[in-house]
């Protein structure tokens, strides 16, 4: 399967002539998306001489992160459930009754943006900002995980000191007290 370099947004999904059935097209599309993670791609159809973008797709291994990013980026939304994932309906900020963009986040890692061509053009124009926000969120998640690891290491050192007491040493007691305080602050 081909992998793509950074290209202007988005790249259109085009199928080899050997792929004809809907099932084969779906498998090809999923494989293409998976080999190019977090790259926005346009699913298009032909109507006469005109190519129409029907939806925008991307693949991610971080569905929860992208769900959070989309909800942070678009201020007026409603979350719904769908059969194989989650759905976010995005509304105009001044009209909470009319959804202009629907985002389906599937359990298999596919994210699909659906709406009018104008709405999809807006997603294309804002995708760099969405992706930057996703990178920022990833960095935050990684630093939180590192903090959790530090807290776990401190807890383990404390337990080891309590299980293997050395003779009463004031410096040791001060170290144990500092570790206890450190652990209690990190746990909160």
- Domains of the chain, residue spans: 11-144, 146-187
* pLDDT tens digits for range 65-124: 999 999 999 988 989 888 888 999 998 877 767 778 999 999 999 999 999 988 999 999
What are all long-range contacts of 151-155, with beta carbons under 8 Å and residues at least 24 apart?
151/183, 151/186, 151/187, 154/179, 154/182, 154/183, 154/186, 155/183
Are the CB atoms for 154 and 186 separated by under 8 Å? yes
Work out the percent of the chain whose per-residue pLDDT is above 70.
Answer: 70
Instruction: Write down the pLDDT at residue 141.
Output: 73
Residue 24 — φ and ψ, nearest 5°? -65, -40
* pLDDT tens digits for range 124-144: 999 999 999 999 998 887 666
Are the CB atoms for 103 and 90 separated by under 8 Å? yes
């Amino acid at each position: 399967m081909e992998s793509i370099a950074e290209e202007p947004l988005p790249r259109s999904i085009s199928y080899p002539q050997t792929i004809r059935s809907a099932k084969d097209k779906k498998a090809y599309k999923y494989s293409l998306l998976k080999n190019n993670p977090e790259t926005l791609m346009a699913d298009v159809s032909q109507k006469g001489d005109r190519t129409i973008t029907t939806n925008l797709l991307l693949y991610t291994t971080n569905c929860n992160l992208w769900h959070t990013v989309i909800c942070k980026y678009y201020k007026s939304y409603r979350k719904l459930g769908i059969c194989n994932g989650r759905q976010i309906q995005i509304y105009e900020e001044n009209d909470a009754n009319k959804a202009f963009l629907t985002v389906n986040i599937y359990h298999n890692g596919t994210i699909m943006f659906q709406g009018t061509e104008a709405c999809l053009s807006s997603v294309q124009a804002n995708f760099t900002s969405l992706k930057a926000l996703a990178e920022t969120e990833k960095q935050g998640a990684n630093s939180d995980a590192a903090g959790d690891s530090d807290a776990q290491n401190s807890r383990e050192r404390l337990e080891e000191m309590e299980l293997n007491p050395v003779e009463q040493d004031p410096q040791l007691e001060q170290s144990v007290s500092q570790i206890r305080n450190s652990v209690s602050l990190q746990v909160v």
